[in-house]
Structure 1
């Protein structure tokens, strides 16, 4: 079974319990089911509690479900367990390729410094070109996978000329710390945490290489039935985004206990984020299409996809 097929199978199995639980608990009530990860604007919105009051006035409840990463969150959208969530660039591409009825409804501007190729403090590597023949840890099919491919190409190194080691963040950090890999491609807040704890140095970040967008997505069915509710959620997210941009220290203090990192580390990660939640534009769609085309060329997608098919149209 190819990696893509295994990814889909694991995601479907991981979501079966969540799907059954949500359906059994809430039946036919008017509910907005939001999927979130430990880090990001949705966590802040959940902690503030303002969305609940806004939705109550419209006759809706809100149900929050935490996910460990983007792929299972989007599979939850696919099987109808949640209605709305956010991820980075790569997971929606794989979800769309698998036939998931997802819709891009908003994005956060580029944050290229929020992902990087890290090397150990005492590494002799000095450039991306030095990765030729080296072991590089990364999440397969993730944003940083695309970043690595593009960074290598800029440095004149073929992807086939490195040895990728596919590991989740926790396992990758362990491999990085014991010297089992030469470099690690990772995103914040794991990036900031590794820098603080291990003295890891940045060989290159995404600046001038990739955009590193964050996307907000809805299921197609929910968006078609409840466009005003999606707009309400986005409006509340924009308010939280404005607060976060204006008081990063306070936001770090609120996020730090939830993600188990010191406040100064979270502050560093937040300063590398982008702010200003916006409707998806043609330019952003084109950028995302380039990511999808790259994954297809690497053999990670079963067929090419058209990102514009999954983008929210103006007025919907």
Structure 2
């Protein structure tokens, strides 16, 4: 039996390298194959085409995908299912930053400005949420969707006014120049997750149901390995993503997540994203995003 994992390089090459270095996926009772994608959107498209079986997807990407479906997804028809999540443990979460010398001092000051964020990411959700809280609509800013590496380059070049990203993605910029943080998700009490997503049809086969259970445990083992081997993970970050040794340890420490089961809190957080995106005009139709969740996996067992 084969299982294809859609691995994205949104956070660089180190994420996949730590999966392999941890040994967590050695000696599986099935064949695990890796398919690499430059973005989560591409990985989701591959999953819909039956070329990927399991991946870590951003809630934002799934909300947008469900909203764009030709026929509204139901519990029975949803092509993907969320079977667990990675809860980010970053202390600051997502930040909105501007150059220290910028006249932008509050989120409200972003009106009419260019703001960069990684497409299909939780950064997009936090930007829309922060704007809404400040009385600014998403259409009041020029949102520039790009990969995180391109967003950092655009920000450093001054072609965008602000950047929205996880603290571990922004950290290298703080060393290069003086920055001002105008908002952080930690102050908004926003839970941050990556959703462990599988092809829905796999859950009709008991053998795949068990394989996914094993994968959830092994994914948790990866996070445990990184936490216990920060030095080794830090060296991988330096070698593969060209990160300064002064930053790499903190980036890896910030990036450690916890694998958690589907819960009321998890579902509510994604439903809230869908409602906000609909209210702010990011999506035209409000999907019932709760239909994508599957509660069968108790990760403590």
Correspondence for 1:4: none
Does residue 1:32 correspond to 2:3, yes or no?
Answer: yes
Compared CA separation, residues 311 and 260, structure 1 to 2 (3 A): same
* Deviation at residue 275 of structure 1 after TM alignment: 2.8
SS in 2 for 1:74: helix
Question: Relative to structure 1, is the Cα distance of residues 170 and 275 closer, same or farther in structure 2, using a 3 angstrom cutoff?
Answer: closer
Following superposition, the deviation at residue 35 of structure 1 comes to 1.0
Q: Which residue of 2 aligns with 1:306?
A: 288
After TM superposition, list the pairs within 5 Å mapping 1:115-126 onto structure 2.
Answer: 115-126=94-105
1:47 aligns with 2:21: yes
Whether the 8 Å contact between 1:189 and 1:266 is mirrored in structure 2 is: no
Deviations 1:29-82 (A, max 9, x none): x111111123476542233344131x2xx2x21111111111111111111101
Deviations 1:226-285, CA, capped at 9 Å, x for gaps: 111001111111122122223323322233323332343232223333532111101110
5 Å matches for 1:259-274?
A: 259-274=241-256
Compared CA separation, residues 92 and 42, structure 1 to 2 (3 A): farther
Greater length-normalized contact order (CA 8 Å, ≥ 6 residues apart): 2
TM-score (norm 2): 0.83
- Judging changes above 3 Å, is the alpha-carbon distance between structure 1 residues 224 and 269 closer, same or farther for their aligned structure 2 residues? farther
- Give the counterpart of 2:185 among 186, 197, 206: 206
Larger helix share, 1 or 2 = 1
Does residue 241 of structure 2 align to residue 256 of structure 1? Answer: no
**Aligned length in residues:** 283
Cα distance in 2 between the residues matched to 1:50 and 1:284: 25
Query: Do the aligned partners of 2:85 and 2:195 also contact (CA within 8 Å) in 1?
Result: yes
Structure 1 pair 315–118 and aligned structure 2 pair: CA distance change class (3 A)? closer
Q: 1:275 to 1:176 in 2, by over 3 A?
A: closer
Q: CA RMSD in A?
A: 2.5
Which blocks of at least 5 consecutive residues in structure 1 are unaligned? 1-29
More strand by share: 2
Give the secondary-structure state (helix, strand or coil) at the position aligned to 1:144. helix
Q: Could you tell me which of 185, 195, 220 is aligned with 1:215?
A: 195
Is 1:281 the counterpart of 2:260? The answer is: no
Question: Which of 40, 48, 70 is matched with 1:78 structurally?
Answer: 48
